[in-house]
Amino acid sequence: MRSTKSLCPECLAIIDASIIEENGKMILEKTCARHRYFKDIYWSDPVQFKRFEQYLHDGGGVLNPSGSNGNCPHSCGICTSHKTTTILANIDVTNRCNQAYPVCFANASASVILRTIPYPDKAMMQLLRNEKPVPCPAVQFAGGEPTMRDDIVEIVKMAREFDFTQIQIATNGIKLSRSLELYRQLNDAGLHTVYLQFDGVTEEPISRTGASMHFPST
């Protein structure tokens, strides 16, 4: 249907890929010269894929890029390869978590060394808001579990000082469900959106991985 670029899942080389419709699915297929042919479901619904394709748009790029040039995704900053300015900036603030979730996209449960990432400084926020021709309008704090940080409220306050129109946290919701006070503090600090983890209403999606849930006491 159309061509694009992707990564070899084995060596992470940038390779050519095709998006095709097959058996009621949108499929991403690609071949690495070293590691063989790969085929994955890209979208499960071709109708929705085609609907969203109508809004596909390449912009003119970032007028004030920073970081390395054209080596996405290996050592990319806001580089010259980007077709738009940043729409939603994701900032990981910790790799700590209060779950050991077997299908965590950040693989937090596999972390050997728990570390708190340094406090996001104002220069980081300013870089996003300085992007031209359009400043980054939204920021999401993630991890790990961002509510594991004692200073998450202060981080949200700092984002509000830079007038982001959307301030979000990606969270499993456990600490928020147990503390109305934390919820109120984040709301008062300027948080707009709680982006909740949701993987199903039963244990079946997890059991398919051959793993089991484990909830640490800390």
Domains and CATH numbers, the chain: 2-53 (no CATH), 88-207 (3.20.20.70)
Amino acid at 48: Q
The pLDDT assigned to 110 comes to 62
**Is 37 or 57 the better-scoring residue by pLDDT?**
37
Burial (CB count within 10 angstroms: exposed 0-12, middle 13-18, buried 19+), residue 209: exposed
The pLDDT assigned to 103 comes to 72
Question: Which of 96, 175, 183 shows the shortest CA–CA distance to 142?
Answer: 96
What number is the average pLDDT over the span 59-70?
80
The whole model's pTM is what?
Answer: 0.77
The pLDDT assigned to 60 comes to 84
What number is the average pLDDT over the span 52-58?
87
Residue 218 has pLDDT above 60, yes or no: no
The length of the chain, given as a count of residues: 218
CA distance 126 to 142: 19
Amino acid at 77: G
Residue 210 has pLDDT above 80, yes or no: no
DSSP bridge pairs for 22: 25
Residue 34 has pLDDT above 50, yes or no: yes
Task: Report yes or no: 71 and 78 within 8 Å, Cβ to Cβ.
Answer: no
Predicted confidence band of residue 119 (pLDDT cuts 50, 70, 90): low
